[in-house]
Structure 1
Amino acid sequence: MDLLMLLTGILPVLPTPFADAGVDLDAMRRVVRFALAAGVDGVVFPGFASEVETLSVDERAALLDLVVAEVDGRVAIVAGASAPSVEEVVHYGRQALALGVTRLMVQPPKSIGAGAGAVASFLAAVAAELPGAEIILQNAPAPRGSDLSPEAVLEVVRQVAAVRYVKEETLPAGPAITAILADAPEHLLGVIGGGGARYILDEYDRGACAAMPALEIADLHVALDRDYRAGRRREARALYVKSLPLLVLQAVYRMRLTKHVLGLRGVLDNRAVRAPTPELDALAVRDIESCFAECGLQSLVSAPIAGGVGA
């Protein structure tokens, strides 16, 4: 089977680098190359961690085009197509399909509510306009998302055959993953974990096929994933424990932490953030850098990235 036929493993959501005016396309190339060098199984763009809500239509299109060109078929790509209306989702979906990207992640807009019928109708309308697309239903927690129950998710999947994956990131995600997989129709190919990989081992133990963390420690996540799939559970857990202090901080500082760490690793020069996130003061920076050092990773992108996790 073609490795790109199924989504598995580590699929980080790529951040968006900004310049003083607009987006930084050269830095975006470095971001993609860093992800590939880390050994990821695929990339996601744009998503919440990409500050997607702050991007213009033109910026979004130019960045996705660049991502597709840089990846050049080497790993899977998931294109974010979330938007408030069916028409906008279809617009973003057609852009992705024109670039050869068939996997579209869609978070149902909160405006339609959390009922299975309304969500299914929304996604069915999208699917009808995008033949050939594989939809990933992104079930985000409140207040950002609709916080769909497992029962609602299953009903949506049953009604809309184009929904081939679920990204489950409500809290706690573990029981929801178990419930969805226990009663999933045959056309559902898998459930993907969210939550920044803060719960990745529990998600994997429950049958999640992949995880979508942020990018800054992608090489550690890849090493963890490979250990887990090879049955080296003790080694996978050791890496998980190393990652947690940094990921706890990432849950607070979000894109600012991601960009700060990518700056430490030589990927980003400009760490500007558009999305409303807490500022990093001197003590927060010290804490982040200490937690990053404890991960045992190389500091510079020019250093070996794949396999760069320390003992």
Structure 2
Amino acid sequence: MTATHALAGHDSVPGSARPSPVRGVSPVLEVPFTEDGAVDADGFRRVVRYVLGTGVSSVMFPGFASEFHKLSEEERGLLTGILLEQTAGRTGASAVSAIVAVQDHATMLAVARARAAVAAGADLINLLPPHFLAPSRRAVVAHVRAVLEAIAPTPMVLQYAPTETGTSLDGATLAEIARAHENLALIKVESSPPGALIAELAAGDPALPAVEGYAGVQLPDAFRRGAVGTQPGCSFTEIYVEIWRRLAGGDQAGGEELHRRLLPYISYWMLDTELIVAAEKLISKRRGLFASSMCREPAHRLDPEEVRMVDRFLAEFADLLPSLE
């Protein structure tokens, strides 16, 4: 199911019999649109092929970076099918696991979507817990358990993004769920900072692997605390792969130095989710991955200085970010 890569980093949490099904860099795929707002399916195919060629062990779709909340059901199904077509034929050292995300607020809809994704060929399910109108913790836990039961034994990544959702789940609650459901395989930690929860999960019973999200802003600290991977956007995957290669290969100083160069950009872009989506789309357009950097409204419109920032970024990292035309 999951590829084994030299760039994988930590294979499992120390002291845990539960290996991580996701390791290293696991990008969230972006969705290109045409200038009139239609889904650019051919552009999305190029996105998938590009990311699969960067040395990653898994990819995720759709997430916040995919503008999932702006896609119709038909568009979402079309794009998920394109992803699964591209990952299905890859075996051995070239295999890349497909993580399909579920964000439905109604438990019955989340269960149905998760089952359909598994039937279509998803290797893992990423679950964003319900958050609209502030459901109780008991209701959130019941929702998570229902989806876990529905897809077992397929592994689940549980996404913890309190800034975007307001959902609050602590380490003890996550460990309690994991004790009852062996297919809770991984936690995507997007709290700010993520390190404390990553360390708490690693020390729990059972120990739970974690990946760090949030564009990798706290990546070196997360790695030191036991993160088994990172899940950023995808327009400059090569930089994250190189940072992870250095950290996982024992070159802590080299990994931190490259991350220090990246940090002024991602720390600004991550001030707002719509801002980093817009910046990453312009990066992909500049690199020749697709024709338009259009984001569906409501969206962040890059001002002239933010456009110049993208161009400075591409000039600074030109050695790691070749043209994709």
TM-score with structure 1 setting the length: 0.89
CA distance in 2, matches of 1:112, 1:130: 26
CA distance in 1, matches of 2:135, 2:257: 38
CA distance 1:84–1:152, shift in 2 (3 Å): same
Matches within 5 A, 1:263-278: 263-274=285-296, 276-278=298-300
CA distance in 1, matches of 2:172, 2:152: 26
SS at match of 2:235: coil
CA distance 1:142–1:234, shift in 2 (3 Å): closer
CA distance in 2, matches of 1:247, 1:67: 26
Structure 1 residues without counterparts, runs of 5 or longer = 303-311
CA distance 1:239–1:184, shift in 2 (3 Å): farther
Matches within 5 A, 1:211-230: 211-230=230-249
Q: Which residue of 270, 278, 291 maps to 1:256?
A: 278
Residue in 2 aligned with 1:308?
Answer: none
Residue in 2 aligned with 1:305?
Answer: none
Query: Structure 1 runs of 4+ off > 4 angstroms?
Result: 111-116
Residue in 2 aligned with 1:3?
Answer: 3
CA distance in 2, matches of 1:220, 1:184: 34
Q: CA deviation at 1:124?
A: 1.7
Q: Which residue of 191, 197, 200 maps to 1:170?
A: 191
Q: CA deviation at 1:203?
A: 0.7
CA distance in 2, matches of 1:56, 1:169: 26
Greater relative contact order, per chain length (Cα 8 Å cut-off, separation 6+): 2
Matches within 5 A, 1:29-68: 29-68=45-84
Letter in 1 for 2:67: E
CA distance 1:143–1:218, shift in 2 (3 Å): closer
How well do the aligned residues superpose, as a CA RMSD in angstroms?
2.1
Letter in 2 for 1:94: R
Question: Greater shift after overlay, 260-269 or 65-74?
Answer: 65-74
Matches within 5 A, 1:1-311: 3=3, 6-19=21-34, 20-71=36-87, 72-73=89-90, 74-111=95-132, 113=134, 116-185=137-206, 188=208, 190-251=209-270, 252=272, 253-274=275-296, 276-296=298-318, 297-302=320-325
CA distance in 1, matches of 2:189, 2:37: 35
Structure 2 residues without counterparts, runs of 5 or longer = 5-19
Q: CA deviation at 1:241?
A: 1.4
**Identity over aligned residues, as a percent?**
28
Cα deviation digits, residues 7-31 of structure 1 (max 9, x gap): 1000000001112253111000110
Residue in 2 aligned with 1:306?
Answer: none
TM-score with structure 2 setting the length: 0.86
CA distance 1:275–1:63, shift in 2 (3 Å): same
CA distance in 1, matches of 2:135, 2:3: 34
